[in-house]
Amino acid sequence: MFSILPFKKMAVEQPNLDYVHRLSDGDSLLEKRLIAVMISEFESDYKDYKMAVADKDYKKIITFVHRLKHKIGFLGMEYSYQIAHKYEEELHKNEGRLAPEFEHIMTQISDFINTLEER
Amino acid sequence: MKCIIVDDELLAREVLSHLVLKTPDLMIDGVFTNAIEVMKYLNTNPGLDVIFLDIHMPNFSGFDFLQTIKNPPLVILVTNDKNLALEAFNFDCIVDYLVKPITQSRFEKAMQRVRQKKAVPASQKSVTPKIAQEIYVNIDKRLIKIDLNSIDYIKANGDYVIIKTETQNYVVHTTLSKLQAKLPPEVFVKTHRSFIINCAKIIDIKDSTVLIGKEIIPVSKNNRINLIERINLI
């Protein structure tokens, strides 16, 4: 059974770059490249996700939620990752009750990316 | 060792490429965005050691690919989905299962498994050691011998454990953890705080249960990965 706990934790967790810092181990060029790729793929996947939602194309929605899950994990958002995973499971049953929570996560990441681009 | 990376996500390809480049005995022979390209590559490039294979790819998934190719090299699955491990271990070529985002330490562990698998001569790969040990348990001041092969599972019951065999049940005054210490760990696995099972007796596995004989045994979330890893070894 799915616990309510991730919803509560999701509200307080913030996107971060801890994973990419650990992976790059001080290699700033690598870090910049990975972050640039993440931003580019996130923006593209999120745009395609929104189009799929507008078209009510469940197969495509699932595809892009699945791809966006990787970016959520990349940004260290463990509980949001669980919400996205649950949302993906719902979509496989042609349901989408967690769409608002998923949208909230996407907004958090978009805002975070904006702060990165301002640096 | 030669490897290829197959993933439709650029971010995943970049992370994997970085991890491979940091591994001295591993070199990248190709990076692909879909499994159909890999089919063509394998026809003309023998001698590949490892494939890092994404499961979820549009049109032709990693599993579709594995069902199609003959004599695959070793495969490390890479996925966003933690729940596909059981399906993954249906394929003999799969040595490990990495969940994105992949960490350096988890990647290194997967590579250790590849090296171990490569080091085992082919003639020994499918040999399952015969278990011929037994344990003695104290019941009513008598030491009774139980053949380990006959044990289906063991259940904790207060200050006692119930050892369920093919023919009868033994009630023994001990704890599950004390008994577990006497059992070969490659065969007997704790699936739940109250259950140890004989992996050789498993009929099937679902998300949170295993079927042994006619009994459904619970598998807790914490013990699930251990169980999956163990059945892969057997």
CA A76, CA A56: separation in Å to the nearest integer? 29
- Chain B residue numbers with beta carbons less than 8 Å from the beta carbon of A69 are 80
The per-residue pLDDT for B85 is 65
pTM recorded for the entire structure = 0.66
Any CB–CB contact under 8 A between A62 and chain B?
no
Which residues fall within 8 angstroms of residue B176, CB to CB, at 6 or more apart? B154, B156, B161, B190, B193, B194, B196
3-state class percentages of chain A: helix first, strand second, coil last, to nearest 5: 80, 0, 20
Any CB–CB contact under 8 A between A49 and chain B?
no
pLDDT, average across residues A11-31: 91
Whole-number CA gyration radius for chain B: 21
**Residue B209, SS3?**
strand
State the angle between helix axes of A78-92 and A58-74 in degrees (0 to 180), rounded to the nearest 10.
170
- Chain A residue numbers with beta carbons less than 8 Å from the beta carbon of B106 are none
Q: Do the beta carbons of residue B184 and residue B131 sit within 8 Å? A: yes
The distance of A44 to chain B (nearest Cα, Å) reads: 11
Q: For domain B134-233, which architecture applies?
A: Beta Barrel (2.40)
**Residue B158, SS3?**
coil
Read off φ and ψ for residue B156, nearest 5 degrees.
-75, 140
* CATH 2.40.50.1020 intervals, chain B: 134-233
**Residue A53, SS3?**
helix
> Residues B218-228: pLDDT tens digits?
998 888 877 87
> Residues B69-79: pLDDT tens digits?
888 899 999 98
Q: Do the beta carbons of residue B145 and residue B139 sit within 8 Å? A: no
pLDDT exceeds 70 at position B121: no
Interface residues on B facing A, Cβ-Cβ cutoff 8 A: 9-12, 14-15, 18, 56, 58, 80-82, 100-101, 103-104
> Residues A45-93: pLDDT tens digits?
999 999 999 999 999 999 999 999 999 999 999 999 999 999 999 999 9
- Chain B residue numbers with beta carbons less than 8 Å from the beta carbon of A41 are 9-11
* CB–CB contacts below 8 A, A to B: 46
% of chain B with per-residue pLDDT over 90 = 36
> What domains, with CATH codes, occur in chain A?
12-118 (1.20.120)
The distance of A2 to chain B (nearest Cα, Å) reads: 12
The superfamily (CATH) of domain B2-125 is Response regulator (3.40.50.2300)
Q: Which residue of chain B is at minimal alpha-carbon distance from A65?
A: B80
